[in-house]
Structure 1
Amino acid sequence: MSAVNELLGCNKELLSLLMKGLPIEDREVYIGQIDHLLEKRGTILYSLDFKSQETLQAKNLLLDQDREIRTLLAKQQAQIKEDLKLLKAQKQKNQQYANPYQTLNMQDGAFYDKRK
Structure 2
Amino acid sequence: MKSTALIPILLLLLVAPLRGAAADAERHFTDIVKPLLDSRCISCHGPDKVKGALRLDSREAILKGGDNGPSIVPGKPSESLLLKAVMHTAPDLEMPPKEKLTPKDIAAFEKWIQDGAPWVQTTNKPS
TM-score normalised by length of structure 2: 0.29
- Greater relative CO, 1 or 2 (CA 8 Å, sep 6+): 1
TM-score by length of 1: 0.31
Structure with the largest fraction of helix:
1
